[in-house]
Structure 1
Amino acid sequence: MKRCVWKKNSSKRALALTVLMLVARAALYAQDGVAGIESAATQVNGYFGVGTKLMYALGAVLGLIGAVKVYTKWNSGEPDTSKVAASWFGSCIFLVVVTTIIKSFFGV
C-alpha cells in the first residue's frame, strides 16, 4: 500500500502556510517608519512634563520624611546627626538638580 504524500507532509505544509499568512498580514499593516518614530517621540516628550512633576512631588515627600528623621536624631542627642543631615540635604539637592536638567534637556 502506498502512503499518501499529502498526509505525510501536512504538518510542514500547514506550518509554511501559517508563516506565509503571518508575513502577508505584517506587510498589510506596515506603515511609514519615520511617521511612527515621530509619533513615539511626541508621546514620550509629553510624558516628561508629568514625570518631572512626579519627581518633584516624590522629592517633597522624601524631604519631609528625611527632615523628621534628622529632627528625631537631633532631639535624642545622637552623635551622627550632622552626617544624616548632610546626606539628606545632598540627596534633596541632587533630586532637584537632576529633575531640572531633565526638564531643560527635553524642553518640557
Structure 2
Amino acid sequence: MKQINRKFFQRLGALMFLAYLSVSYALAQSSSGIDQATTEINSYVDPVSNLIIAIGAVVGLIGGVRVYIKWQSGDQDTQKAIMGWFGACLFLILVGVVIKAFFA
C-alpha cells in the first residue's frame, strides 16, 4: 500500500511540475506579446495626436469663417455660434494633448 501511495505522489508531483512549466511558459509568451503591443500602440500615438490637433485647427478656421459670415449678415445668434465652434476646437486640441500625455 505504501508503494502505491509513493508512486501516486511521485506521478502527481511530476504532473504538477509539468503544469507549472507550461503555465510559466504561457505567461512568458503573453508578456512578450503585451510588450510588443505596447510598442506598436506607442508608435501610433504621435501621428494620431498630431492629426487630431490638425483637425482641431481646421475646425477652428472653418468656425471662424462661419462666425464671421454670420456676423456680417447681421445674425443675432453669433455668440452661440462662437461658443459652439470654439468649444469644438478646444475639445479637439485638448484631446490631442491628453492622448500624448496619457501614452507618453
Using structure 1 for the length normalisation, give the TM-score: 0.66
Q: Give RMSD over aligned pairs.
A: 1.6
In 2: Cα distance, 1:33 partner to 1:56 partner: 34
How is 1:1-108 mapped onto 2 (pairs within 5 angstroms)? 32-107=29-104
In 1: Cα distance, 2:60 partner to 2:90 partner: 10
1:63 deviates by 1.1
1:29-66 CA-to-partner distances (Å, cap 9, x unmatched) read: x9922111110111001101010110011111111111
Number of equivalent positions: 78
Over the matched positions of the two proteins, sequence identity in percent amounts to 47
In 1: Cα distance, 2:94 partner to 2:51 partner: 14
Alignment gaps of 5+ in structure 2: 1-25
Alignment gaps of 5+ in structure 1: 1-29
Deviation beyond 3 Å, 4+ runs, structure 1: none
Between structures 1 and 2, the one with greater helix share: 2
Using structure 2 for the length normalisation, give the TM-score: 0.69
